[in-house]
Amino acid sequence: MVVVVVVVVVVVVMVVVVVMVVVVEEMNINRQGGKASAGTQISSVVVVVVVETLVEVNVVVVVVVVVVAATHHYYS
């Protein structure tokens, strides 16, 4: 049950991050009149790094939770 909750939270976080990325990119493109500037590219790189970090953290969290849940289930 705990695993389900954690997975749902992780999925929601991922969706929120993706939506934020899309919104930021759209705002940048609109502000520059359809052209991507160096600033937009830099912000894109930062966004990519942040997203990748979040994905890795989420994967680690899920693995830890699954392992803890499994061991707790077997040993309790």
Q: Which of the pair, 50 or 42, is modelled with greater confidence?
A: 50
Render pLDDT for 8-39 as a digit per residue (tens, 0 to 9).
777 788 778 777 777 777 776 666 665 656 66
3-state helix, strand, coil in the chain (%, to 5): 90, 0, 10
The pTM is what? 0.41
Residue 61 and residue 8 in contact, taking contact as beta carbons nearer than 8 Å: no
